[in-house]
Amino acid sequence: MKHNFDITEFITALMIFLWGLWIAMPFDTFPSTSIGGLLDRIAPELFWGVTGTLLGGGWLLCAILGNKYRLRRFIVFGIILFWAIITISAITSNYKATATVIYPCILLIIANLYYKIVFTIYKKEKCNGRTKCTNS
């Protein structure tokens, strides 16, 4: 089975999966951070945890199973929107926190991986493995 994912994609998907799993734990994680209060106003903590777990887990499965490009693109686009909300919440809740630097960097990594999936991997699949395709 051919896998078109790199270690960065795997680690990022795993990180989002574990982040969601941690937030979905039965103990309250939001009160311990400044970002939690703002996210809690948007949706309950369990929502963020389950959503992160499902999105990250879905991305992991697509990457591991391979050749699920359309589903992978859809999931990663959803993760970009999901993580953008978290990033904006992190920046606006407490600009002095380390999350102000870390979360936007993670968002850039996810956006870069999305670009790679859409314009490199998917195009290669569409063109039967060739890097340049005249049929598109």
Is the Cβ–Cβ distance between 72 and 63 less than 8 Å?
A: yes
Binning the chain into helix, strand and coil, the percentages to the nearest 5 are: 75, 0, 25
**Could you tell me the two tokens for 19?**
């982040």
Is the Cβ–Cβ distance between 23 and 45 less than 8 Å?
A: yes
Q: Is the pLDDT of residue 18 over 50?
A: yes
Q: Domain ranges in the chain?
A: 7-126
| Alpha carbon distance 92, 72 (integer Å) | 30
**Residue 136: pLDDT band by 50, 70, 90 thresholds?**
very low
pLDDT tens profile 79-131? 999 999 999 988 888 888 888 899 999 999 999 999 988 887 656 555 655 55
- State pTM to two decimals: 0.81
